Structure 1
Amino acid sequence: MALSSAKRAGKRFIGHPEHAIPVASSVDWVSQVFVNPTQHIKDYLISLFPILTWITRYNPGWLTGDLIAGLTVGMVVIPQGMSYAVLATLPAEYGLYSSFVGVLIYCFFATSKDVSIGPVAVMSLTVAQVIKHVESRSPGEFDGPQIASVLALITGFIVLGIGLLRIGWLVEFIPAPAVSGFMTGSAISIAAGQVPGLMGISGFDTRAATYKVIINTLKGLPRTRLDAAWGLPGLVGLYLIRLGCIKGGKRYPQRARLFFFISVLRNAFVIIILTLAAWLYCRHRRNDAGRYPIRILLTVPSGFRHIKQPSIDPGLLKAMAPELPVATIILLLEHIAISKSFGRLNGYKINPNQELIAIGVTNTIGSCFGAYPATGSFSRSALKSKSGVRTPAAGIVTAVVVIVALYGLTDAFFWIPTAGLSAVIIHAVADLVASPSQVFSYWRVSPLEFFIWLAAVLVTIFSSIENGIYTSIAASLVLLLIRVARPRGAFLGKVLVREESSEQEREIFLPLTRAGITNPDVKIVPPSPGVIVYRMEESYLYPNASIMNSVLVDYVKENMRRGRDMTNVKLSERPWNDPGPSRGGAAADQVINETKPVLHAVVLDFSTVSHIDTTAIQALIDTRTEIDKWANHPVEFHFATVLSPWIRRALVAGGFGIGISASKSREIAAVVPHREDPNEIPEYEKDDVESGDLKKRASSSLNEKSGYAPLIGTETPFFHVDLAAAVKAAESGIGSA
């Protein structure tokens, strides 16, 4: 009946009858894919440049916040950029190149106003490892800057491709504890590797495994040099300034903003003091070999002296190839984690694919400026956010600050003590170590994920960052596969609850095992004898299909009556894999069997099933076949809350929902084609199919005179809108069977 004529007839509708379709059509899929492709292409191209959505609305009110944030980050990124370049075993100016290109290019492609792109500690250490690996395989063929710039080009191009293809969702397979684990392990590794530089200790490889570096550092303490007189006071000074500003802000709330900016400038302040002290002490103490009493940066070329096209050599690519996966993972993973975090904190949503495009373009272009791989920095992003940044345009201000430093301050950089840069690195990476409360929260939420976090930390410390991140990712994927392949499910019973507001009673369904129910007064009543209610807690897919089959079949064989009286079946006629009771115990077994209920219906709650595949449908068919064989009569299969039309389509293709017996679709995913012989169909199945009793029984329960249109079409009477309706239909069929 059409809706307009139904209204004229005075009928009411729950759901439009035209929408009550049982399955999806293939035309629906085609129309979704190819609907208005021109508009999709246009929207896609515009989305590549998010700056177009806000630059036309830029106003002086935003300018103030961007200027303050840009200048503040610029003051921090200069000493950090040079420090991280030294960590990457590159000349200090390369850190400034990466800082400039990162903050400038990113603002044109960003969907986050807070993230600051540039050199970061973990990526810098990874670059150092890549340089070490390439130099060990091809000694003397390639220098560090060439390796670093080519690494930026290749990893940037890979990440750009991932973003353009819109497959950034792959990052979601790496959970937060795994990211935190390798970040914590990396921070410990970086800090341990910088202690020798802080103390002036030399004579061993600081890029070896962390535990070896710690052991060698302890052994080398007697060899501490004068550099420690700059490194240790610098590190202590950084912490004292920060702690003092935190306490000052709490004690004098009206001056909290002042204390914040004093704390922000602590890196620049400490480096200036240490540089001045190094100049005063070293300017007249140069020996005949041209060396100074402590290690200093020496000459830092002004301007962009190394702008050129990256030199891509096949030999370099071959030597670098094993290190590319981990470098790419760190590049995109750290950035996405940071951008999502600040988007969540500040109330806006980032586009992960667009963020990948942003860092991909940044690194690809940066390689032409001599920059090494750059990604989002947690410390500078937090600083940018707290400084009141309003738009990504703050990056332009930071880029100007870096250019001024590159052209006007390089002479002063000559006297920066490297021990002071080590202090800056240690101070920065300490914030990346997970706090005890955060680690304890992993344990409380998911003990298995806590062990993933712990494994990532330990492998990073005792092996390498590369193995640490691979371990955390592999362990996370294994845990995910286990959860999919070994899903939880429960057989359900009824509980009668009363709603206080309306004084009405209704039925809810809870696990018969009382899982999660601590109140002993709650009585869970099993469904009517002969009815089984089972809830799946995962999608029904090929990894878990056999598990679901075993659970249902085993439960039926244990709790429901066997349809055949095995006392009258000869041993020679019994199947080899189900011989039944022995000849002497058959009578006693039949007495026990008679006490069990006759199975009538199986109700499956699909409310949490979002996907189903061919293997699962075949497993469900096999389950129905085995259960029918055990009961020796057709058993109804009812499905509750089948939300997806594609799941309905798949179930109907398997012969479910429409009252067709198992014999009609015994093989939907046959490995070896099987042609059924009608003579092989058991007699009980023949009778039921020919009479159509199942379909008649389900259809007869529909009230066609109520004036309501069904939410689910009458073509699929065994699909129900909710679990209560499914159980009611299953139980009502017991009396009519």
Structure 2
Amino acid sequence: MAHPVATNEDGNGEVGGITQFASEENMQRSPSTYKVGCPPRKKFIKEFVDGLMETFFPDDPLRPYKDQSRSKKFMLGLQFLFPIFDWARYYNLSKFKGDVIAGLTIASLCIPQDIGYAKLANLDPQYGLYSSFVPPLIYALMGSSRDIAIGPVAVVSLLLGSLLQNEIDPLNNKEEYLRLAFTATFFAGVTQVLLGFLRLGFLIDFLSHAAIVGFMAGAAITIALQQLKGFLGLVKFTKRTDIISVMKSVFDPFPSGWNWPTIAIGVVFLVLLLIAKHMGKKNKKLFWLPAITPLISVVLATFIVYITHADKSGVQIVKHINKGINPASFKKIYFSGQLLGKGVKIGIIAGMIALTEAVAIGRTFAAMKDYQVDGNKEMVALGTMNVVGSMTSCYVATGSFSRSAVNYMAGCRTPVSNLVMSIVVFFTLLLITPLFKYTPNAILSSIIISAVIGLIDYEAAFLIFKVDKFDFIACMGAFLGVVFASVEMGLLVAILLQVTRPRTAILGNLPGTKIYRNIEQYPDGIQVPGVLVVRVDSAIYFTNSNYVKERILRWLADEDEKHKTKHLPRIEFLIVEMSPVTDIDTSGIHALEELYKSLQKREVQLALANPGPVVMEKLHASEFMEKIGHDSVFLTVGEAVMKCAPKTTEDA
């Protein structure tokens, strides 16, 4: 079968990916003499090995290894798998100064946050600190982002705590709850490693930007509402996260259940934290102020409670944080039994959300500093650190928006800032955790409330509303699902409401040309009688294949009705313009087969225009081409129309 030759503006052609000068003979050939070719299919083993090499290595993996000694090849391999062996060669004192300052700054922010976030996950405070010790060490060795600050985050902590307590009571079955948390963390890490290893990172894109904006805002409000227990000094509080249940818990004991000394501490320090945050935002030189204020607030609040004995007046305090570094927890992970399945399910959900947050942060700061972040390496690095973390008493860790922003503004140069933070947390665990005994829960609640306010992105929501109303519906659906139901329900709504709805368009011929364009964008476009030309502007996967089929059939029914009304010939040919369809899976092929069967019943002939090489390969492999006939595939829409309705096009 002849390869198609695409001629560019300079009169050059391209065959099999090789640009050629178009000969006079080729220039004179009509498009109808060309056939849409199918590229040779790769063997599965070669395709798998190529994908595996691309995961860890550059596009041309063998080039750096040519003419190199074994030791050199080994070092190059280490540098690809562990980026620290690459950038460490160029490390200097100037970079170290920047990393130390950044590391100390994010450490002052992470210590009080970690204690509070552990409570969100219904875990003892030390587990939050554990999770900012081991995971950052692993990430510094394997991660490719210079700016991400690793540790527990509010959204994942709340999600994990919510899902875990649905299975086990964290108060009455504390040990089993802890074991399930480690199990979920282990499988969250396994999920992340597999996504990177098998190049399945596209799965995290099922949460669109709009859905993430809504989900994050809803989670921020839910987290803030959960902090009302510590902020108001409430003893009894609902385990549910929806706003109605929380408000009942807040106002049912009012005012007798509220502790006014606790409220005074919470209000004063929340105002202090918000003022510091505002000042840091207004003046970039004061970036350190909102970073250091939480730790200063903890120290002051703890000192006030200690000297006033406010704990005897009902002010709830942390009481005890285990001293010492992470104990091993490998034997506590469930690898069998009834709770294994629950741990896997929770781990997959938490791992995906954690990965989405980390990848978004990595991409953002990489763009700001103009360097590349390898997405697959990031997934493997994040997954590995969580697998190791689950064996060392950590729960799910990921990149933190607030700490990464502080890390960036503090002048971090490499992942060494994570190492510095980890060392500070190490000495905190080893030496000073007993000093947090009198820390009031109210100050931790204030720190978390001030931190999550930044997750509510009003400007992004307004822009989504202005640009795409359907996207805004997905955004609000995720937001309302989290606030009025639960975190997991909001996540489900976010996915369901933004399941891909690819754009489809009816194409018409621009008079005097062979060009076919969207008739809504080009009102002068003329539809050819008896022919319907539809363009699908997306890859066709299981998430949208049924929609594509039904949308095309609705177009066909609507156009048939219009033709009857105007006494025009009925539609006999359906041409699907497939150049924007970059890929198709088995569900997509099945949808095309069902479309073809429906068209046969209506006595409408199906034709495909310009399917890409990947699509052609899969259509051949599935034997769909044999069903519709090879003569039903054309190089261009114009050629397809000429073949399907030659008399009409000649008259035109």
Q: What TM-score comes out, normalization by structure 1 length?
A: 0.70
Give the deviation of 1:311 after TM superposition: 1.4
Q: What's 2:288 paired with?
A: 261
Output aligned runs, 1:190-209, within 5 Å: 190-205=223-238, 207-209=240-242
Residue range with higher mean Cα deviation, 100-109 or 346-355: 346-355
Q: Deviations for 1:26-69, whole angstroms, at most 9, x for unmatched residues?
A: 45566962787996698497544233332223233322221221
**Whole-angstrom CA distance in 2 between matches of 1:735 and 1:334:** 53
Q: Deviations for 1:106-145, whole angstroms, at most 9, x for unmatched residues?
A: 1112121111111111222234334533434995472554
User: Is residue 133–residue 320 contact of structure 1 (8 Å, CA) maintained in 2?
Assistant: no
**Whole-angstrom CA distance in 2 between matches of 1:398 and 1:167:** 31
Q: Which residue, 258, 279, 282 being the options, matches 1:224?
A: 258
- In 2 relative to 1, CA 369–530 (structure 1 residues): closer, same or farther, beyond 3 Å? closer
Give the deviation of 1:191 after TM superposition: 0.8
Q: What's 1:358 paired with?
A: 381
User: Is residue 207–residue 498 contact of structure 2 (8 Å, CA) maintained in 1?
Assistant: yes
User: Is residue 22–residue 648 contact of structure 1 (8 Å, CA) maintained in 2?
Assistant: no
Output aligned runs, 1:513-528, within 5 Å: 515-516=520-521, 523-526=524-527
**Whole-angstrom CA distance in 2 between matches of 1:652 and 1:124:** 45
For 1:494, give the aligned amino acid.
L
Give the deviation of 1:88 after TM superposition: 2.6
Q: What's 1:564 paired with?
A: none
Q: What's 1:135 paired with?
A: 168
1:234 counterpart = 2:269: yes
Q: What's 1:719 paired with?
A: 634
- In 2 relative to 1, CA 65–725 (structure 1 residues): closer, same or farther, beyond 3 Å? farther
Q: What's 1:489 paired with?
A: 505
SS of the aligned residue for 1:235 comes to: helix
**Whole-angstrom CA distance in 2 between matches of 1:616 and 1:15:** 39
For 1:360, give the aligned amino acid.
G
Q: What's 1:96 paired with?
A: 129
Q: Which residue, 443, 448, 454 being the options, matches 1:425?
A: 448
**Whole-angstrom CA distance in 2 between matches of 1:438 and 1:654:** 46
SS of the aligned residue for 1:449 comes to: helix
User: Is residue 204–residue 216 contact of structure 1 (8 Å, CA) maintained in 2?
Assistant: yes
- In 2 relative to 1, CA 164–729 (structure 1 residues): closer, same or farther, beyond 3 Å? closer
User: Is residue 237–residue 249 contact of structure 2 (8 Å, CA) maintained in 1?
Assistant: yes
Q: What's 1:474 paired with?
A: 496
For 1:373, give the aligned amino acid.
V
- In 2 relative to 1, CA 16–262 (structure 1 residues): closer, same or farther, beyond 3 Å? farther
- In 2 relative to 1, CA 509–452 (structure 1 residues): closer, same or farther, beyond 3 Å? same
User: Is residue 55–residue 197 contact of structure 2 (8 Å, CA) maintained in 1?
Assistant: no
Q: Which residue, 564, 573, 580 being the options, matches 1:608?
A: 580
Q: Deviations for 1:256-289, whole angstroms, at most 9, x for unmatched residues?
A: 52x222232111222222222222212xx78xxx
**Whole-angstrom CA distance in 1 between matches of 2:618 and 2:486:** 50
Q: What's 1:684 paired with?
A: none
Q: Deviations for 1:140-198, whole angstroms, at most 9, x for unmatched residues?
A: 47255444333322322333333323322211112122222222222111111112311
Q: What's 1:155 paired with?
A: 188
User: Is residue 163–residue 356 contact of structure 1 (8 Å, CA) maintained in 2?
Assistant: yes
- In 2 relative to 1, CA 73–32 (structure 1 residues): closer, same or farther, beyond 3 Å? same
Q: Which residue, 425, 444, 451 being the options, matches 1:402?
A: 425
**Whole-angstrom CA distance in 1 between matches of 2:570 and 2:156:** 66
User: Is residue 98–residue 366 contact of structure 1 (8 Å, CA) maintained in 2?
Assistant: yes
**Whole-angstrom CA distance in 2 between matches of 1:333 and 1:359:** 11
Residue range with higher mean Cα deviation, 115-124 or 614-623: 614-623
Which of the pair has more CA radius of gyration? 1
- In 2 relative to 1, CA 509–199 (structure 1 residues): closer, same or farther, beyond 3 Å? same
Give the deviation of 1:508 after TM superposition: 4.5
SS of the aligned residue for 1:265 comes to: helix
- In 2 relative to 1, CA 123–538 (structure 1 residues): closer, same or farther, beyond 3 Å? closer
SS of the aligned residue for 2:133 comes to: helix
Give aligned pairs, total.
602
1:56 counterpart = 2:25: no
Residue range with higher mean Cα deviation, 269-278 or 536-545: 536-545
**Whole-angstrom CA distance in 2 between matches of 1:171 and 1:9:** 43
SS of the aligned residue for 1:55 comes to: helix
Q: What's 2:9 paired with?
A: none
For 1:205, give the aligned amino acid.
T
SS of the aligned residue for 1:264 comes to: helix
Give the deviation of 1:214 after TM superposition: 2.0
Q: Deviations for 1:644-700, whole angstroms, at most 9, x for unmatched residues?
A: 3753894899898xxxxxxxx6x569xxxxxxxxxxxxxxxxxxxxxxxxxxxxxxx
User: Is residue 56–residue 376 contact of structure 2 (8 Å, CA) maintained in 1?
Assistant: no
User: Is residue 535–residue 605 contact of structure 1 (8 Å, CA) maintained in 2?
Assistant: yes
SS of the aligned residue for 1:373 comes to: coil
Q: What's 2:8 paired with?
A: none
- In 2 relative to 1, CA 15–614 (structure 1 residues): closer, same or farther, beyond 3 Å? farther
User: Is residue 304–residue 369 contact of structure 1 (8 Å, CA) maintained in 2?
Assistant: no
Give the deviation of 1:320 after TM superposition: 4.7
- In 2 relative to 1, CA 327–603 (structure 1 residues): closer, same or farther, beyond 3 Å? closer
- In 2 relative to 1, CA 309–508 (structure 1 residues): closer, same or farther, beyond 3 Å? closer
For 1:212, give the aligned amino acid.
S
- In 2 relative to 1, CA 220–166 (structure 1 residues): closer, same or farther, beyond 3 Å? same
Output aligned runs, 1:655-694, within 5 Å: 667=627
**Whole-angstrom CA distance in 2 between matches of 1:96 and 1:15:** 73
For 1:97, give the aligned amino acid.
Y
Residue range with higher mean Cα deviation, 359-368 or 613-622: 613-622
Give the deviation of 1:420 after TM superposition: 1.0
**Whole-angstrom CA distance in 2 between matches of 1:559 and 1:172:** 40
Q: What's 2:303 paired with?
A: 276
SS of the aligned residue for 2:510 comes to: strand
For 2:318, give the aligned amino acid.
L
For 2:327, give the aligned amino acid.
H
Q: What's 1:647 paired with?
A: 616
Q: Deviations for 1:236-265, whole angstroms, at most 9, x for unmatched residues?
A: 111122334445x3xxxxxx52x2222321
Q: Which residue, 467, 470, 474 being the options, matches 1:452?
A: 474
For 1:33, give the aligned amino acid.
E
**Whole-angstrom CA distance in 2 between matches of 1:9 and 1:331:** 52
1:383 counterpart = 2:352: no
**Whole-angstrom CA distance in 1 between matches of 2:471 and 2:510:** 34
Gaps of 5+ in 1: 250-255, 497-505, 561-588, 657-664, 670-714
**Whole-angstrom CA distance in 2 between matches of 1:229 and 1:419:** 9
1:294 counterpart = 2:289: no
User: Is residue 199–residue 376 contact of structure 2 (8 Å, CA) maintained in 1?
Assistant: yes
1:438 counterpart = 2:460: yes
**Whole-angstrom CA distance in 1 between matches of 2:152 and 2:52:** 39
**Whole-angstrom CA distance in 2 between matches of 1:417 and 1:39:** 52
Give the deviation of 1:452 after TM superposition: 2.2
Cα RMSD after superposing both structures:
4.3
User: Is residue 563–residue 570 contact of structure 2 (8 Å, CA) maintained in 1?
Assistant: no
Residue range with higher mean Cα deviation, 355-364 or 324-333: 324-333
SS of the aligned residue for 1:203 comes to: coil
**Whole-angstrom CA distance in 1 between matches of 2:301 and 2:273:** 12
SS of the aligned residue for 2:175 comes to: coil
Residue range with higher mean Cα deviation, 346-355 or 24-33: 24-33
SS of the aligned residue for 2:238 comes to: coil
